[in-house]
C-alpha cells in the first residue's frame, strides 16, 4: 500500500458526460501528479500540482481540468467524455526536495466510456 | 520517436534466472531514473530510484544508469514467480517540475 488513495475504483459512464476523480496523497506529500494509462499510449503525464498551485502540464486535453485543495487532496475533472477517454487514471504524490522525483502511485480509477 | 524506448517483450524466464530489463532515452535533461513494477490493473510500485549515472542495489534488484549512452538497466537476481509483472522504466528532468516520462513497459513472466 503506497498510502495514496483514489476514488472511485471503477467508473462507467456515457459519451458526453462529466466525471470527477479524487485523489488523497500520502501524509505530508505536497505534490500531486495525474497520469493516464491506455493500451495504445502507455502511461502519460497529465498535470502536476504543488501545494495547491499548478506546477506543470503534460498532454492534458482542454476538456480535462484538475485542482488541489487546501487539505492537499486533488480532483481530476473530465468533461464531454469520448470513447477514447476510457483508460486507467492514476494519481501519484511526492515530497518536496531533491527526492521529489520519487513518486508513489495510487491504485487508480478505471474509467469506461460507453 | 519516443523519449523513452523500452522493449515490450513479453519476456519469459525460468525461476532462479537473472533477468535483464533495459531502456534507452533521448533527452539529455533527464537526471532521475526509476523502475516501477506494475501488476495487472494495479498502480505502479516504485522499485528503484537513482540520480545521474551509477549503480544502485536493493536486495535482488540492481539498477544501472549510463548517461553517456543514455541507457538504463534493471537486473533481477534469483527471479521468483512473484516477480511476474510489467516493469516500467521512468525518467525525470531536474528542476521544479518532476513529471515522469515512462517507457512502454516490459511484461515479465517467471515460470516455476
Q: What is the pLDDT of residues B59-88, one digit of tens each?
A: 999 999 999 999 999 999 999 999 999 999
Tell me the C-alpha distance between A15 and A78, whole Å: 11
> Please, are residues A72 and A25 in contact by the beta-carbon 8 Å criterion?
yes
The pLDDT of residue B9: 84
Mean pLDDT of A90-100: 77
Closest approach of B31 to chain A, Cα-based (Å): 9
The pLDDT of residue B41: 82
Q: What percent of chain B has pLDDT over 70?
A: 97
- DSSP code of residue A86: -
The pLDDT of residue B50: 86
User: Which chain B residue has its CA at the smallest distance from A5's CA?
Assistant: B43
> Please, are residues B55 and B64 in contact by the beta-carbon 8 Å criterion?
yes
DSSP bridge pairs for A13 = A113
Q: What is the pLDDT of residues A52-87, one digit of tens each?
A: 999 899 989 999 999 999 999 999 999 999 999 999
User: Which chain A residue has its CA at the smallest distance from B102's CA?
Assistant: A43
> Please, are residues A20 and A91 in contact by the beta-carbon 8 Å criterion?
no
Q: Which residues of chain B have pLDDT under 70?
A: 95-97
Question: Can you point out the beta strands (E) in chain A?
Answer: 5-7, 10-13, 19-24, 31-38, 42-50, 53-57, 64-68, 74-78, 87-94, 104-105, 109-113
The pLDDT of residue A74: 98
The pLDDT of residue A100: 64
Cβ pair A101:B101 closer than 8 A: no
The pLDDT of residue B99: 86
Q: Which residues of B touch A96 (CB under 8 A)?
A: none
- Rounded to whole angstroms, the maximal C-alpha distance in chain B is 44
The pLDDT of residue B72: 95
Closest approach of A2 to chain B, Cα-based (Å): 8
Q: Which residues of B touch A7 (CB under 8 A)?
A: none
Closest approach of B25 to chain A, Cα-based (Å): 15
Tell me the C-alpha distance between B57 and B21, whole Å: 15
Cβ pair B49:A33 closer than 8 A: no
Core vs surface per residue B34-65: b (16+ CB within 10 A) or e: bbbbbeeeebbbbbbbbeeeeeeeeeebbbbb
User: Which chain A residue has its CA at the smallest distance from B105's CA?
Assistant: A42
- DSSP code of residue B42: S
Amino acid at each position: 500500500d503506497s498510502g495514496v488513495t483514489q476514488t472511485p475504483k471503477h467508473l462507467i459512464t456515457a459519451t458526453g458526460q462529466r466525471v470527477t476523480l479524487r485523489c488523497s496523497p500520502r501524509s505530508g506529500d505536497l505534490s500531486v501528479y495525474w497520469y493516464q494509462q491506455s493500451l495504445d499510449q502507455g502511461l502519460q503525464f497529465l498535470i502536476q500540482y504543488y501545494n495547491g498551485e499548478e506546477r506543470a502540464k503534460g498532454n492534458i486535453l482542454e476538456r480535462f481540468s484538475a485542482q488541489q485543495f487546501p487539505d492537499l487532496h486533488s480532483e481530476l475533472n473530465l468533461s464531454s467524455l469520448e470513447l477514447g477517454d476510457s483508460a486507467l487514471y492514476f494519481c501519484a504524490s511526492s515530497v518536496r526536495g531533491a527526492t521529489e522525483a520519487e513518486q508513489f502511485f495510487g491504485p487508480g480509477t478505471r474509467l469506461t466510456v460507453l | 520517436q519516443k523519449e523513452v524506448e523500452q522493449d515490450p517483450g513479453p519476456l519469459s524466464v525460468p525461476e532462479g534466472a537473472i533477468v535483464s530489463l533495459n531502456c534507452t532515452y533521448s533527452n539529455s535533461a533527464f537526471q532521475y531514473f526509476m523502475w516501477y513494477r506494475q501488476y495487472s490493473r494495479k498502480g505502479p510500485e516504485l522499485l528503484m530510484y537513482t540520480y545521474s549515472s551509477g549503480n544502485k542495489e536493493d536486495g535482488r534488484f540492481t539498477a544501472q544508469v549510463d548517461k553517456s549512452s543514455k541507457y538504463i538497466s534493471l537486473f533481477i537476481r534469483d527471479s521468483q514467480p512473484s516477480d511476474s509483472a510489467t516493469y516500467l522504466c521512468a525518467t525525470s528532468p531536474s528542476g521544479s517540475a518532476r513529471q515522469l516520462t515512462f517507457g512502454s513497459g516490459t511484461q515479465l513472466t517467471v515460470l516455476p
